[in-house]
Every structure is written in C-alpha cells, then in structure tokens.
Amino acid sequence: MQQIKNYINGQLLDSVSGKKLENCNPATGEVYSFLPDSNEKDVEIAVQSALQAFPAWSVAGIEKRSNILLKIADLIEQNLEKFALAETNDNGKPLWLSRKVDIPRASSNFRFYATAILHHSTETHYLENNALNYTLRSPIGVAGCISPWNLPLYLFTWKIAPALATGNCVVAKPSEITPMTAFLLSEICIEAGLPAGVLNIVHGLGHKVGAAISGHPQIPVISFTGGTSTGAQIASVAAPMFKKMSLELGGKNPNILFSDCNFEAALNTTVQSSFANQGQICLCGSRIFVERPLYEKFKNAFVQKVSEMQVGDPLLEESKLAAVVSKQHMEKVLSYIELAKQEGGNVLCGGRQASVAGRCEKGWFIKPTVIEGLPFNCRTNQEEIFGPVVTIMPFDTEEEVLMYANSTKYGLAATLWTNNLTRAHRMAEKLHSGIVWINCWLLRDLRTPFGGVKNSGVGREGGFEALEFFTEPKNVCIKL
Ligand code: NDP
C-alpha cells in the first residue's frame, strides 16, 4: 500500500493525529493507498511554515521564482508516465487522457506563470503637469488553494502556480478523493529546490482541512474550485473576514446547434464536449439544443456515435470512457437518470451502470447516456449532474434557445455551432456565460480570463487576471 504524506515546511509528514484515510482506485473499486486524515492542527503548522517562508520568497525576485517554477515544470514533464498512471489510478480516467491532457497541462500551468511574471507590468496614470500615479503590486501573504477531484493535478497547479509566481506562499488542499498526484508534486518540489514552507500541501477531508484553511485568520486570500454549495459555505466563512476570494463553481452548460453549422465538426465535437472525462469537466455541455430542421438527423447520428463509445479499463487505449470517480458519485449520477425517467425523459442510449470484465469488474462505470423529451425547466435540465449524461431537445427560434440556455442558475460555458457570423456574435453577447465557444470546444488559451457568472462563480482566473488576483495593488501618487 502506498502512503501519501503531507508536505509541510519542506518535509513529507503524516498527520499530527496519525489518522489515515483510505484511497480507492475507481476502476477496480479497491483501496490502494492511504492518505493523512489531517485536521486544523496540521493546517496550523502549515500556515506557520508558510508565514516563516514568506518574507524571503516574496522578495526572492522574479528570476529566481521563475527558474524554480520552470524546474518544477520540467520535472513534471520528465515524469509524465509516472504522473499519468497515478492520475488514472486515482481518478479512473483513461490513461491516454491523463497522458495527453491532465499532466501536460499541469506542467504548462507552471511554465505559463513562471514566464508570465517576467513580462507582467503595472500601470501608471499621469495627470498633466500635476501628478504621477503608479501602481505597486505586492504578494498578499499566505494563499489558501482548494481544488476538486475531476482534473486533480491540472486544477491544483492552475491555482498554485500563479500564487507562487507572484511571491505568495501557499497552503493547499487537493480533493481527498484524488490526492496522489499532489503528493508526487511534493516530491518534485523538493527536488526542484523550492524553499521549505513556500508550498504546503495538507491532505484530508473538506470539512476539516478545507474548512480550517478557509477560516484561518492568517490566510487572507482563497482560491477555490469545486461545487457551488461548497463555494457558498466557504464564502459564508471567508466574506465576513474580508478575504479576497476566487470561486470557480459548478455549471450546466448549453450546446446550441443551428441548422447551418458544419455538421461533422459539430457532431464530433459535441460527442467530446458531452463525454470527455466521463462528463466530469465543469466545461462539458450537458444540455444539447438543436434547431428543429436539423434535430432528427443530428439526434440519430449522435446517438449512433455515443452507442459505439467503448466504456472500459482506463489502461486500455480503446476505452473512450473509463470509471467515474467514486461509488458515491456513480450512485448520484444514476439517481439523476432515474429522476429523468420520472420526469418523462426517454433514454435514447446508455442509462445504466456499465460492467467491465476482468480486473475492473468491481469498478464504477456508467454508460454514456442521452435523454430526450424533457422540458427545459425540469430538475434534470436545471441541476448539475457532472457525469456522462446529456439531454437533447429541439428549438425553433434564437429567442427561444437563448431563454432555454439562460434558464439555469449557472453560467460557466456555452458552445454555439453556426456559420452565420452575425448570429454568432449576437448570441455570444446575450448568453449568460463566462466563456462562449463558437464552432469549437475546450480550445484553451491560458492568457484568457476563465470563470463563470451567476452561481458558477465569482472572479476570474487565467492569464494576467490570476497574477492580479494574487497581488494587492497600491496606488502611489507623486505631486509634480
Ligand atoms: P466539492 O465542492 O465537493 O469539493 C471541492 C474541494 O473542496 C475538495 O477539495 C473538497 O474536499 C473541499 N471541501 C469540501 N467541503 C469543504 C468546506 N466546507 N470547506 C472547504 N473546502 C471544502 O467539489 P467536487 O470535488 O465534488 O468537484 C466537483 C465540482 O467542482 C462540480 O460542481 C464542478 O462543476 C466543480 N468544478 C468547477 C470548475 C470551474 O472551473 N468552475 C472546474 C472543475 C470542477 P473533499 O474532497 O475532501 O470533500
């Protein structure tokens, strides 16, 4: 059994209490490692280590910080296979996906922010013949970073990299369900020469470790990605303490297809945007709206393709979908399929657990599921399912589909398929969404602002937005 350790003050440690939690491989349903069941005492030690490291790290200079972060990026790349296998064993996702997306992206996150700080500048405001203002940007102190299980290392590093690059020290918590690659990252940080206490990783449960981080009086800035209800709990603690917060939360993203779209591109990409990572990406589209003249043709071709997707052992190249993250999550997703049926939905394909023979016979797999016949405002079409389940329905007019698309409490991402340029711009402006993809999906440029509106979040990450989030601006005014 592998033993995952906390990374505090440069050392790999068990929890203060000595208690441990079991960590499962979702593809086999078996416990394969243990992680520290940490509590507020471990968080306290981590915060004090970070506070001790802060004075030196915050003035280390951008070149030194950049070099260390680049070294971390290199080491992740050099250990790609080890990281990819660890991510797959921990999360259940196909190995090809971990290898192609999750781990390379984690390395890019470090590389991007290691170099971004070299090119970042602050503003000046000149008042003619009177005064010169300039903005100083300083690191804030100890940043709390809390991340979810769906893209474990990818999202963990998306927060940590800009926080460290800008000179903050960090106390971070990965999801207790997928802690392994964060542990491997600790080992790499030690090898890369990251000074002790600059990054601290405390493993354990959300209501213990996560709550201790978000409520800690010496952590003035919190970056959180996860569910909307957890985001609300964190905000209820952190807001009265006047902490700076970035909350990246849930979604219920619309996929809108007009009859004039490029059919093949729309079809192939919608299969991806519906079921990539078993539908467990906050950016996956879970409601597909198709203009009526195209509806039957698209539906039939889509269902055909989805029915052919192989659900299987994540280690096999041919498995398009693999395990969902946990038994509890599988049961939640299956319960939504039952709800959809009660609400009058017609299951066009999938609709049940998938059995995978051999080493995965006790694993947690779900067949990709397409449901039609549901009204836009039923629970299935309003609540986040976060699994391989999509609904499909026709629409007649732009106004109607905008109303459907904007009807949920969420507003993270939307995908639009049309070759009508004017309509594309008009719709993009009217969609209640932090991100709109036109004739594409998940085409990511790390320089762009990333985040949601309504209950999908508060604030933006990505690009220079993250550098600004993790620094405090100060205006200095000089009388001329
Ligand atoms: P959760 O909100 O359950 O958990 C996210 C993290 O918060 C975990 O590390 C969790 O720990 C921790 N946590 C739980 N309770 C608390 C608490 N009271 N205080 C502080 N931290 C706490 O989300 P999931 O892990 O289930 O992730 C799925 C969700 O994440 C979906 O809603 C998805 O849409 C969203 N998401 C949003 C993204 C975005 O960019 N907008 C991107 C990816 C996912 P533990 O695991 O131990 O419970």
What confidence tens digit (pLDDT) does each residue in 444-472 have?
A: 999 999 999 999 999 999 999 999 999 99
Number of domains in the chain: 2
**Ligand 1 pocket test: which of 102, 225, 382 has the largest number of ligand atoms within 8 Å of its C-beta?**
225
Whether residue 251 contacts residue 412, with contact meaning beta carbons closer than 8 Å, is answered with: yes
169 assigned to active site:
no
* Helix (H), strand (E), coil (C) string for 286-337: EEEEEEHHHHHHHHHHHHHHHHCCCECCCCCCCCCECCCCCHHHHHHHHHHH
Q: Is position 123 within any domain?
A: yes
Task: Clarify whether residues 240 and 258 are in a common domain.
Answer: no
What confidence tens digit (pLDDT) does each residue in 24-74 have?
A: 999 999 999 999 999 999 999 999 999 999 999 999 999 999 999 999 999
- Which residue, judged by its Cα, is nearest atom 30 of ligand 1? 226
Q: Which two tokens stand for residue 19?
A: 């208690």
Task: Clarify whether residues 470 and 423 are in a common domain.
Answer: no
Degrees, nearest 5: CA angle 339-345-349: 100
Neighbours of 92 (CB within 10 A): 32
Distances (CA, A) of 311 to 86, 308, 318: 20, 9, 9
Size (the chain), residues: 480
Burial group, residue 325, by CB count within 10 angstroms (0-12, 13-18, 19+): buried
Model confidence at 11, in pLDDT bands (50, 70, 90)?
very high
User: Terminus-to-terminus CA distance in the chain, angstroms?
Assistant: 68
Task: Clarify whether residues 206 and 84 are in a common domain.
Answer: yes
Q: Is position 227 within any domain?
A: yes
Whole-number pLDDT of residue 129 = 87
Spot the catalytic one: 24, 145, 189, 282: 282
Q: What is the Cα 228 distance to its own chain's centre?
A: 13
40: CATH:
3.40.605.10
What confidence tens digit (pLDDT) does each residue in 167-206 have?
A: 999 999 999 999 999 999 999 999 999 999 999 999 999 9
Task: Clarify whether residues 20 and 104 are in a common domain.
Answer: yes
Task: Clarify whether residues 225 and 271 are in a common domain.
Answer: no
Q: What is the Cα 271 distance to its own chain's centre?
A: 20
Domain holding 27, by residue range, is 2-249+456-479
Q: Is position 413 within any domain?
A: yes
Q: Please name which of 435, 284, 410, 275 lies closest in space to residue 354, comparing C-alpha atoms.
A: 275
Q: Is position 17 within any domain?
A: yes
Distances (CA, A) of 451 to 247, 278, 314, 353, 448: 8, 21, 30, 32, 10
Q: Please name which of 194, 350, 188 lies closest in space to residue 274, comparing C-alpha atoms.
A: 350
Whether residue 264 contacts residue 186, with contact meaning beta carbons closer than 8 Å, is answered with: no
Q: Is position 451 within any domain?
A: no
Q: Is position 185 within any domain?
A: yes
- Which residue, judged by its Cα, is nearest atom 32 of ligand 1? 227
Distance, CA of 262 to CA of 138 (rounded, Å): 48
Q: What is the Cα 47 distance to its own chain's centre?
A: 24
Task: Clarify whether residues 361 and 475 are in a common domain.
Answer: no
Spot the catalytic one: 248, 291, 384, 465: 248
326: CATH:
3.40.309.10
Distance, CA of 348 to CA of 373 (rounded, Å): 10
Task: Clarify whether residues 355 and 206 are in a common domain.
Answer: no
Task: Clarify whether residues 473 and 339 are in a common domain.
Answer: no
429 assigned to active site:
no
What confidence tens digit (pLDDT) does each residue in 237-258 have?
A: 999 999 999 999 999 999 999 9
Task: Clarify whether residues 53 and 193 are in a common domain.
Answer: yes
Task: Clarify whether residues 342 and 243 are in a common domain.
Answer: no
**Ligand 1 pocket test: which of 21, 38, 146, 236 has the largest number of ligand atoms within 8 Å of its C-beta?**
146
What confidence tens digit (pLDDT) does each residue in 114-133 have?
A: 999 999 999 999 999 899 99
Task: Clarify whether residues 131 and 232 are in a common domain.
Answer: yes
Whether residue 7 contacts residue 33, with contact meaning beta carbons closer than 8 Å, is answered with: no
Whether residue 167 contacts residue 56, with contact meaning beta carbons closer than 8 Å, is answered with: no
Whole-number pLDDT of residue 190 = 98
| Spacing, Cα 299 to ligand 1 middle (Å) | 33
Q: What is the Cα 185 distance to its own chain's centre?
A: 17
Task: Clarify whether residues 190 and 278 are in a common domain.
Answer: no
Atom of ligand 1 nearest to the CA of 228: 32
Q: Is position 296 within any domain?
A: yes
The mean of the pLDDT values for the chain is: 98
Q: Which two tokens stand for residue 380?
A: 């299935």
Distance, CA of 163 to CA of 145 (rounded, Å): 9
Does the pLDDT of residue 386 top 90, yes or no? yes
Kindly state the percentage of the chain with pLDDT values over 90: 99
Whether 452 lines ligand 1, by a CB cut-off of 6 Å, is yes
Q: Is position 150 within any domain?
A: yes
* Helix (H), strand (E), coil (C) string for the chain: CEECCEEECCEEECCCCCCEEEEEECCCCEEEEEEECCCHHHHHHHHHHHHHHHHHHHCCCHHHHHHHHHHHHHHHHHCHHHHHHHHHHHHCCCHHHHHHHHHHHHHHHHHHHHHHHHHCCCCEEEECCCEEEEEEEEECCEEEEECCCCCHHHHHHHHHHHHHHCCCEEEEECCCCCCHHHHHHHHHHHHHCCCCCCEEECCCCHHHHHHHHHCCCCCCEEEEECCHHHHHHHHHHHHHHCCEEEEECCCCEEEEECCCCCHHHHHHHHHHHHHHHHHCCCCCEEEEEEEHHHHHHHHHHHHHHHHCCCECCCCCCCCCECCCCCHHHHHHHHHHHHHHHHCCCEEEECCCECCCCHHHCCCCCECCEEEECCCCCCHHHHCCCCCCEEEEEEECCHHHHHHHHCCCCCCCEEEEECCCHHHHHHHHHHCCCCEEEECCCCCCCCCCCECCCHHHEECCECHHHHHHHCEEEEEEEEEC
Q: Which two tokens stand for residue 69?
A: 């972060």
Degrees, nearest 5: CA angle 241-244-250: 105
Atom of ligand 1 nearest to the CA of 250: 34
